[in-house]
């Protein structure tokens, strides 16, 4: 099944995908749209014309009202849009509401409530352990028992295309502590999961991911490794992360990732009861990490240890509330191979092994002016591949 929209077939944004975002034309108010090929479908006026009850949800500058509608509302909307964009008889009706992507600007799609970041990739955690504690077990005792996580700063989340200013902070330099711009600015290739449905304090069952998560976006959790290292005993990362987190503009529905579901790696010891999930609980999503014009890594999310259903079950098991717009992320995704590492900390092995970019320059950490782009793709439900929205950001000087 393919769309009648010119160019949609084979673009990664055909009717088997249909990600949600927020856009505005020049001088327009921002509103909700769905991407199809190189166009965005303007849902609010089309929904109003068709007397859709949900049309008002799209006349909003964030996805939050739509997120609050919950899983049945998401499915109705997906069915409606899929029908409009796949059946040629709707072309005359729909075409006036298709806007070329290059004529709109994309906004932060979600007003994020709480942002939780996890540490769920085993290969990443082992690499970090080997770099910082070479003589100890690379995984801490709790790591295979529960998904380790922490709260990040939701107010610092920005949309793709936003510049990122190199942060200043206190860091150890030899025996001194200095207050300077970070010299170890890093990227982290991650996926973020967008929560919807009603506000609740109820723990989420490990089988209920689709009831509480609309979809996935690509996320770069920028990190200043030297600031982070100095500050984080004993309460964890703070200013080394809170200056910026970039996300893609398009939320790929979980419904578009059915064909991407894969079994988790074996989990030993068997997790606590609340962390047991119905397989296949993993997702076969391939990430790409670009620094300027060089593809520096291709982390495979299928190798992640903890699944998103387990992350969500864990973060709510203590009765913590969920609200529409909450976001939880995987933490850096790394695979077993050297070229599958999702951070420069790992790619440069703690700054000790510089690597080359296509222009011949070398990097350990990011330089001012560098542009980092994360991309991702996955098997689509119609046999080809879908492309998740990229997230890109340029480093500007402190």
Interface residue list for its own copies (CB under 8 A): 113-114, 116, 119, 140-142, 145-146, 148-156, 165, 167-170, 177, 179, 199, 201, 224, 227, 230-240, 242-244, 272-274, 314-315, 317-323, 326
Question: Smallest Cα–Cα separation from 285: which of 270, 303, 301, 261?
Answer: 301
Distance, CA of 85 to CA of 98 (rounded, Å): 10
201 catalytically annotated:
no
CA dist., res. 202 & res. 238, Å (int)? 28
Q: How far is CA 235 from CA 149, 205, 225, in A?
A: 12, 28, 15
Q: Return the number of the residue (11 or 170) whose C-beta is nearest its own copies.
A: 170
Minimum Å gap between C-beta 357 and its own copies is 26
| Displacement of CA 69 from its chain's centroid (Å) | 21
Question: Which residue reads 């990190």 in tokens?
Answer: 223
User: Which tokens belong to 157?
Assistant: 């989340």
Give the closest residue to 165 by CA, choosing from 108, 250, 242. 242
Residue with tokens 């769309």: 3
Q: Among 124, 140, 151, 201, which one carries the catalytic annotation?
A: 124
- Give 55 or 317: the residue with its C-beta nearer to its own copies: 317
Say how far apart CA 118 and CA 152 lie, in whole Å: 10
- Shortest Å, Cβ 85 to its own copies: 35
Q: How far is the CB of 364 from its own copies (least distance, A)?
A: 21
| Of residues 240 and 300, the one with the C-beta less far from its own copies | 240
- Residue whose CB is less far from its own copies, 55 or 320: 320
In the complex, minimum distance from the CB of residue 213 to its own copies, in angstroms, rounded to a whole number = 16
Q: What distance in Å separates the CA atoms of residue 192 and residue 220, rounded to the nearest whole number?
A: 9
The DSSP string of 148-168 is: -EEEE-GGGEEETT--EEPPE
Task: Kindly list the distances between the CA atom of residue 9 and the CA atoms of 20, 80, 137, in Å, as whole numbers in the listed order.
Answer: 18, 19, 49
Shortest distance (Å) from residue 14 CB to its own copies: 36
Instruction: Output 196 or 237, the one with its CB closest to its own copies.
Output: 237
Q: 10 Å Cβ neighbour count for 285?
A: 25
Cite the active site residues: 124
């Amino acid at each position: 099944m393919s769309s009648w929209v010119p160019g949609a077939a084979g673009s990664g944004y055909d009717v088997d995908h249909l990600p949600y975002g927020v856009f505005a034309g020049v001088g327009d108010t921002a509103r909700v749209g769905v991407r199809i090929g190189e166009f965005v479908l303007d849902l609010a006026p089309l929904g109003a014309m068709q007397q859709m009850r949900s049309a008002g949800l799209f006349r909003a500058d964030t996805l939050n009202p739509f997120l609050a509608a919950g899983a049945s509302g998401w499915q109705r909307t997906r069915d409606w849009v899929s029908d409009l964009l796949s059946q040629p008889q709707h072309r005359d009706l729909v075409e006036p509401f298709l806007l070329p992507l290059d004529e709109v600007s994309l906004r932060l799609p979600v007003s994020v409530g709480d942002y939780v970041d996890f540490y769920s990739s085993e290969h990443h955690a082992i690499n970090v352990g080997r770099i910082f504690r070479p003589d100890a077990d690379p995984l801490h005792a709790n790591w295979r028992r529960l998904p380790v996580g922490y709260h990040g700063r939701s107010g610092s989340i920005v949309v793709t295309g936003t510049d990122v200013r190199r942060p200043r902070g206190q860091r150890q330099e030899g025996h001194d502590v200095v207050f300077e711009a970070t010299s170890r600015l890093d990227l982290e290739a991650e996926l973020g999961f967008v929560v919807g449905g009603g506000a609740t304090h109820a723990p989420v069952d490990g089988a209920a991911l689709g009831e509480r998560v609309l979809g996935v976006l690509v996320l770069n959790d920028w990190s200043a490794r030297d600031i982070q290292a100095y500050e984080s005993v004993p309460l964890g990362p703070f200013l080394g992360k809170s200056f910026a987190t970039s996300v893609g503009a398009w939320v790929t529905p979980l419904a578009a990732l059915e064909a991407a579901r894969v079994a988790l790696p074996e989990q030993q010891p068997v997790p606590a009861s609340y962390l047991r999930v119905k397989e296949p609980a993993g997702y076969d999503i391939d990430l790409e990490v670009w620094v300027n014009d060089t593809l520096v890594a291709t982390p495979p999310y299928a190798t992640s240890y903890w699944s998103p259903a387990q992350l969500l079950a864990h973060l709510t098991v203590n009765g913590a509330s969920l609200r529409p717009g909450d976001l939880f992320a995987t933490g850096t995704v790394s695979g077993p191979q050297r070229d599958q590492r999702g951070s420069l900390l790992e790619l440069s092995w703690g700054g000790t092994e510089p690597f080359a970019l296509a222009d011949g320059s070398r990097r350990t950490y990011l330089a001012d002016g560098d542009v980092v782009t994360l991309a991702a793709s996955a098997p689509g439900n119609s046999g080809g591949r879908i492309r998740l929205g990229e997230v890109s950001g340029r480093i500007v000087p402190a």
